[in-house]
Every structure is written in structure tokens, then in C-alpha cells.
Amino acid sequence: MIKETRITLKNIGTINPESIDDYISAGGYEGLKKALTMKPFSIIDEMLEAGLRGRGGAGFSTGMKQKFTSKSCQECPQRYVVVNADEGEPGTFKDRVIMEQDPHLYLEGTIIAAYSIRATKAFIYLRGEYTDSIARTQKAIEDAYSHGFLGKNILDSGFDCDVEIRLGAGSYLCGEELTMLESLEGKRGNPRIKPPFPAEKGVFGAPTLVNNVETLANVPLIIRNGKEWYRQFGTERSPGTKIFTVSGQVNKPGYYEVELGITLRQLIDDLCGGMLEGKPFKAALLGGAAGTFVDASMLDEKMTYDNLKEKGATLGSGAVIVMAEEDSVYEILHSCLRFFKHESCGKCVPCRVGTTLMVKDLEKLKNGVADKEALVQKLVKDSRMIASTSLCPLGQSPILPMESAARYFMKELTL
């Protein structure tokens, strides 16, 4: 029987999130104190060896990103940290839990990350609808200033750092890192062409480290407790824990922090209390709308970044939407495709026109078409074409639910 392993969620329910004293009593800001006695490059080495991978979806090495940003443009007068707190992926609500219940944790991670790349300014790009997260984070920032954890000469280390919140206006695309930087600069949320990556040319043209809230919440814990401590959790290539947000046909939907490597079956049966009313499991959508459908054959696969990728699935943001036999994969797929159509910024033709046509074509499955299988195959082909010709990663999103739905549920789609 698998249990939760709460490290980033350890303080939840035990401290008052609005009290910096509570956070300090629970070991808070010890990571920052230790970090400030270390050389910035030693922090990056520690992160590299701990093996933390970005929790925003892509699973890229956090230490590598710090290293690239730190080494980029030595003559640049400024570099920045930008916290991705936009949390737009459907089915995902893990960052909200951290921001509302333990805001100092990711704030401390942000300050350490800034020190590691020698940035003196960090922005938190926070979803505008997350009013409690905004209020708690703002209070945490003010208290961190008054306790000397932010501002000039932090804890007499000579290091200065300011943190400021910037609000997003509820665009899914603005969670994509380069689009987020455009929005943060006050422009329309249109994507930028990659490369250059944010590490080379980020916000206001300066080298920028972009990290997700959950990623940053791990940083003080790794610095405080060390890489060996961190590596005791998870697997060799996916160390640590991950917060999964489970919704749909389970008895206890919610958020669960578990070691990476847990299986979907363990997550559903051991933590979520099993399928609702004992209904048979049919499918899960892993990673949100830009995620993949899996069927019962994947129930015992280890959920790590690499294993799921090898099996054609994705861990993504950690969203898990569970479906029972009675649920329609068509309806969920339809909802994902309509979502992409709605969120497409319209800048490039393949995505603007392609996502609209995909929705229309998918609907033909219900409205009557002679060869349904040929239509599903066309949809898969179109999603590949959109992915390969679109300007930004949103255009690469429809392919994931489309291909996986066709792989596992062709029979149902063509009934």
C-alpha cells in the first residue's frame, strides 16, 4: 500500500500560511541561509546532482537551466528569475495548493534560484483568477522584506534581491514561457520564436531563468537537506516527488504528493480510494489537455518522465483525469480540441485554421461519415502537420490527445 511522501506539502495543515514565524519554526529560510554561505556555482552543482527536473510539464533539468542562464551573456548588467505561476493546464491545481498553503516555500526557492544565477530581480507571473494565491504570496513577500530575506544585503550576505508579482489575464498560451515573458513585459500574449531561449534572451532581453512554482518549492529543501537526501525519493532518472492532481471517477479526488515511479493503479487504489462506486476503469488523461490518453494496459507502468515517454505517454503537469467505462473518450477529446481552438492566439495559419478544422472533423464522427476510421486517421495526420508547421508549442499540443485517443480507443471513436 503506497502512501504519500510529502516534502513540498509537508507544512500544509500544520502551519498558518500567513505567518512567517510559523514557516521559520518549521525550518523555513534555513535553505536560504545555507545557500548564502555557498558560492552560486556550488548551488547549481548541488541542483545538478540532485537531479531535480522541471515540474511545469517538460521535465527539463533545473540545474542545467540554472547553469545555462548563469553562463549566458556575462556582460549583461541584469539577469532575472521568472516564476511561472500561471497554472493554466486543465486538471492541474498543484501550484495553487503551494501558493495558498505554504507561499514562503516557493518564495524561498525563488530567492535561492536568483542567488544561484546572480539575478537581483524576480517576477512571479501569477494567474489573475488565483486571488487567494495572489494575496498570500503578496503577504509572504512583504514579510520576507521585513525579516531581511528580501531587499538589500540579504542577511548581511551582500546579495540584493527584489520580488514582484505580475498578473496574468487567464490565457493558456501565456503559461508558455516565451509568451509569458511577452505578457510580463506588458505586450499582447503572442509567442516568440525559439531560439533564443529565455536563458539567452528572456524578459527585457536579459538572461532569464523560468521555473514553475512546484520546481522552486523543491529548491530550499534540496539545499537545506542535500542532494543525497533528495535522491532517496523517486527513481535514478526521475528523482524526488511529484504532486499529482486527480479528478474524475475516483472516490477521493484531490492532490497527492508521491515519489516519482508510482503507478497509476497505486495512485487510484491506494491514495484515491479506488474507482468511484467500484466502476471499472476505462481510461485516464495524463498531463491535462496537452496530455495523453492511456488505457488499462498502462495501469502498472511507473509514472516517471522517461518511462511514460518511452511508452508514448506523458507525465506533464501531473494532472490525472480518470474515466470509467460509462465515460466517453470522444467527449473528452472533443473538449480538449475545442480548448486548443479557443486558446490558439491566431498568429499562425496551421494552428489557427487547423485547430478549427480538427474540431469540425471530429464532430463529423457523430454527425455521420462513411469511413470513420479514415477520418480518425486524417485527424491524426492533421495534428502531426499542425505540430510540425506551427510557430509555438501550443500547435504541438493537439497531437498528444489525438494520437493517443486513436491508439487506444479507435474502436470507440469509430462506433
Ligand X SMILES: Cc1cc2nc3c(=O)[nH]c(=O)nc-3n(C[C@H](O)[C@H](O)[C@H](O)COP(=O)(O)O)c2cc1C
Does 241 participate in binding ligand X (rule CB under 6 A)?
A: no
Q: Site mask, ligand X, residues 34-73, x = CB under 6 A?
A: --------------------xxxxx-x-------------
Could you list the beta-strand ranges (E) of 249-307.
Answer: 254-259, 281-286, 292-295
Does 171 participate in binding ligand X (rule CB under 6 A)?
A: no
Candidates 114, 199, 210, 351; binder of ligand SF4 (CB under 6 A) is 351
Among ligand SF4, ligand X, none, partner that 390 touches (CB below 5 to 8 angstroms by kind): ligand SF4
Our measurement of the distance from residue 164's CA atom to the centroid of its chain's CA atoms, rounded to an integer in Å, reads 21
Cβ contact 98:6 at 8 Å: no
Cα gap 51→161, rounded to integer Å? 26
Does 176 participate in binding ligand X (rule CB under 6 A)?
A: yes
Least Cβ distance, residue 152 to ligand X (angstroms): 28
Does 394 participate in binding ligand X (rule CB under 6 A)?
A: yes
For ligand SF4, the closer of residues 279 and 347 by Cβ is: 347
**Residue 127 corresponds to which cell in the numbers above?**
494567474
- Crossing angle between the packed helical segments 349-367 and 329-343, to the nearest 10 degrees: 150
Contact set for ligand SF4, span 368-397 (CB under 6 A): 390-392, 394-395
**Residue 358 corresponds to which cell in the numbers above?**
480538427
Taking contact as CB under 6 A, which single stretch among the options 20-28, 167-175, 260-268, 398-406 is the one that binds ligand X? 167-175
- The residue whose Cβ lies closest to ligand SF4 is 351
Cα gap 387→390, rounded to integer Å? 6
Taking contact as CB under 6 A, which single stretch among the options 25-33, 83-91, 345-353, 361-369 is the one that binds ligand SF4? 345-353
- Total residues interacting with ligand SF4, rule: CB under 6 A: 14
Long-range contacts of 36-40 (CB under 8 A, 24+ apart): 36/115, 36/154, 36/155, 36/157, 36/159, 38/223, 40/70, 40/115, 40/116, 40/117, 40/118
**Considering only CA atoms, which of 196, 412, 392 is closest in space to residue 323?**
412
Does 346 participate in binding ligand SF4 (rule CB under 6 A)?
A: yes
Taking contact as CB under 6 A, which single stretch among the options 66-74, 82-90, 239-247, 293-301 is the one that binds ligand X? 82-90
Does 348 participate in binding ligand SF4 (rule CB under 6 A)?
A: yes
**Considering only CA atoms, which of 280, 316, 286 is closest in space to residue 298?**
286
Does 337 participate in binding ligand SF4 (rule CB under 6 A)?
A: no
Q: Which residues contact 242 (CB under 8 A, 6 or more apart)?
A: 55, 214, 234, 257, 258, 259, 260, 303, 315, 318
For ligand X, the closer of residues 63 and 271 by Cβ is: 63
**Residue 90 corresponds to which cell in the numbers above?**
486543465
**Residue 71 corresponds to which cell in the numbers above?**
553562463
For ligand X, the closer of residues 69 and 249 by Cβ is: 69
What residue ranges bind ligand X (CB under 6 A)? 54-58, 60, 84, 86-89, 172-173, 175-177, 210-212, 215, 393-394
What residue ranges bind ligand SF4 (CB under 6 A)? 173, 191, 344-348, 351-352, 390-392, 394-395
